[in-house]
């Protein structure tokens, strides 16, 4: 357990059982593939390539696919303060 401390995100105990959430890896924006602006909705869709970084020994336990990257479509809304990410 001592060696894994730097990878622990959260640790809780419930009914005398210890539950530990571990860091498997992080995603970093690698490339913006495409930006599709929709002026009538003050919105934009952005296709982005994310790359895995800081891969830990616990990555083999992850439910994520085994490729080193993933492409996601992100949505943004234009506001008076600029563009904002929409979940």
Of 4, 80, 69, give the one whose Cα is nearest residue 42.
80
Instruction: Judge whether 50 lies within some domain.
Output: yes
Of 49, 48, 46, give the one whose Cα is nearest residue 77.
46
Per cent of the chain over pLDDT 70 is 97
User: According to the model, what pLDDT value does residue 84 have?
Assistant: 96
Of 41, 36, 16, 33, give the one whose Cα is nearest residue 70.
33
Contact 85, 76 (CB under 8 A): yes
- Is residue 1 scored above 70 in pLDDT? no
Residue with structure tokens 């602006």? 37
Total tally of structural domains belonging to the chain? 1
Average pLDDT, the chain: 89
User: According to the model, what pLDDT value does residue 38 have?
Assistant: 96
- Is residue 67 scored above 90 in pLDDT? no
Instruction: Judge whether 34 lies within some domain.
Output: yes
Distance of CA 72 to the CA centre of its chain: 10
Q: Which residue has the higher pLDDT, 34 or 70?
A: 34
User: According to the model, what pLDDT value does residue 10 have?
Assistant: 86
Range of the domain at 65: 27-86
């Amino acid at each position: 357990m001592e060696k894994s401390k730097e990878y622990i995100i959260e640790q809780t105990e419930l009914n005398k059982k210890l539950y530990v959430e571990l860091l498997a890896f992080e995603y970093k924006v690698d490339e913006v593939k495409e930006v599709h602006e929709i002026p009538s909705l003050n919105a934009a869709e952005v296709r982005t390539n994310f790359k895995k970084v800081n891969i830990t020994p616990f990555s083999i336990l992850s439910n994520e696919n085994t490729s080193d990257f993933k492409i996601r479509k992100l949505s943004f809304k234009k506001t008076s303060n600029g563009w904002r990410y929409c979940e």
